[in-house]
Amino acid sequence: MSVLIAPSILSADFAALGDAIGAVERGGADLIHVDVMDGHFVPNITIGPPVVKSIRRVAKVPLDVHLMIADPDHYLDAFAEAGAAMLSVHVEVLPHLHRTVHAIKALGVKAGVVLNPSTPVGALEEIAGDVDYVLVMSVNPGFGGQTFIPRSESKVRAVRALLDRAGNSAAVEIDGGIDKHNVARVVAAGVRVVVAGSAVFHSPDPERATRELKAAALAGLPAASVPR
Ligand code: DX5
Ligand code: ZN
């Protein structure tokens, strides 16, 4: 697997989401990352299923939906129906995570689990064989434009090792404070799905920023796996 780039529309102009998505797709975006926040699990409110449904109509690439909400179980159907190809849920809010992961899969959607910066990798020990991907938060969730937490790099290595021990080739995704200067390091640590919001949409040219981020990410791959 190469590295997938998933621009986060959280930092885009919400009045012109179609244009924003078109630009990053021209720049080589592989996924569109959609941040759903409820004002309870995180101190911010963003978008819900109707907006995901509208985005689905214009996006050519799959939607990677990141649920930062207190009660994700209640909304899985709605987001699957709206067109999410990937749904990730935070381990911090789910006492029955195994049930939730399998409920997502039963909807025909890829199931991801997310770790906050303070959540230990060990929280995944019993679920590592079941997940389709693991999202490592490299900032505290809730806002775009925050600074990358350096310890996240070793956390990515630990998650990769845990998945490998479980015999699971599931990808590790990273989210928060990623730009073209630090992306190669996290890819070298094992990241294969890169989320970036402000680095893409706060740049004057999101299409070019996506292209540059992808090139920088590929530079972090081990030489043997770089696509020709
Ligand atoms: C933060 C969100 C991120 C956010 C990343 O809670 O989960 O996806 O959009 O933004 P940047 O790349 O600006 O840190
Ligand atoms: Zn996110």
Residue 35 designated active-site = yes
- The answer, yes or no, to whether any atom of ligand 1 lies below 6 A from the CB of 103, is no
% of the chain at pLDDT higher than 70 = 97
Token pair listed for 161:
């090792």
CA distance 2 to 226: 7
SS (H, E, C) 67-80: EECCCHHHHHHHHH
- Residue 223's pLDDT band, with cuts at 50, 70 and 90, is confident
8-53 pLDDT, tens digit per residue, is 999 999 999 999 999 999 999 999 999 999 999 999 999 999 999 9
pLDDT of residue 73: 98
- The answer, yes or no, to whether any atom of ligand 1 lies below 6 A from the CB of 206, is no
pLDDT of residue 228: 54
What is the 116 CA–ligand 1 centroid distance (Å)? Answer: 12
Candidate list 30, 35, 64, 132, residue with the active-site label: 35
What is the 48 CA–ligand 1 centroid distance (Å)? Answer: 17
- The answer, yes or no, to whether any atom of ligand 1 lies below 6 A from the CB of 88, is no
DSSP 97-124: HHHHHHHHHHTT-EEEEEE-TTS-GGGG
Residue 132 designated active-site = no
Token pair listed for 213:
């981020």
91-144 pLDDT, tens digit per residue, is 999 999 999 999 999 999 999 999 999 999 999 999 999 999 999 999 999 999
Rounded alpha-carbon distances, angstroms, from residue 54 to 132, 206, 215: 25, 21, 30
Candidate list 30, 64, 132, 175, residue with the active-site label: 175
% of the chain at pLDDT higher than 90 = 97
